[in-house]
Amino acid sequence: MLERRPAVRPQPQPPGGPVGAAGEDDPWHTGAACRRDEVGLFFAPSKEPTAARLSREEQAKQVCARCPVLLECREHALAQPEPYGVWGGLTAAERRVVLARRRRRDAELREAARVGAAGSRIAG
């Protein structure tokens, strides 16, 4: 199934308000390196060939690698979650993997806490 991609890069909104990376009164994305680059670098045109997509994504990741707000951008994309484009140096597929790992880790931590709490009731 083909995904519809936005024609222009949406301006990210900071989760929970401004972050100090770009200044106390400015949202984090005002300092993003991608604001100076071509929008098409971060979002795929429809029916983009695989080789072209991989090349474009690698170029976008190079921009992200030098970005002073890379982590803020990545966390925004994971929190939303952003379904398209390269955000915080990760593609949409890579973000899905990160989210799945976080969910699995969180479930393991909840289970460990539950088992630990049950064990302390028995010992106490």
Cis peptide before 18 (omega within 30 of 0): no
pLDDT-derived band of residue 45, with 50, 70 and 90 as boundaries? confident
pLDDT average, residue stretch 3-32: 52
Look at residue 54 and tell me whether its pLDDT is greater than 70.
yes
Burial class (CB in 10 A: 0-12, 13-18, 19+), 94: middle
Across the chain, how many H-helices and E-strands are there? 3, 0
Q: How many residues does the chain have?
A: 124
Look at residue 25 and tell me whether its pLDDT is greater than 80.
no
The b/e string for 4-25 (b: 16+ C-beta within 10 A; e otherwise) is eeeeebeebebeeeebebbeee
Structure tokens at 121: 């009731």
* Pair 42, 85: CB distance under 8 Å: yes
Q: What is the pTM of this model?
A: 0.69
* Pair 73, 12: CB distance under 8 Å: yes
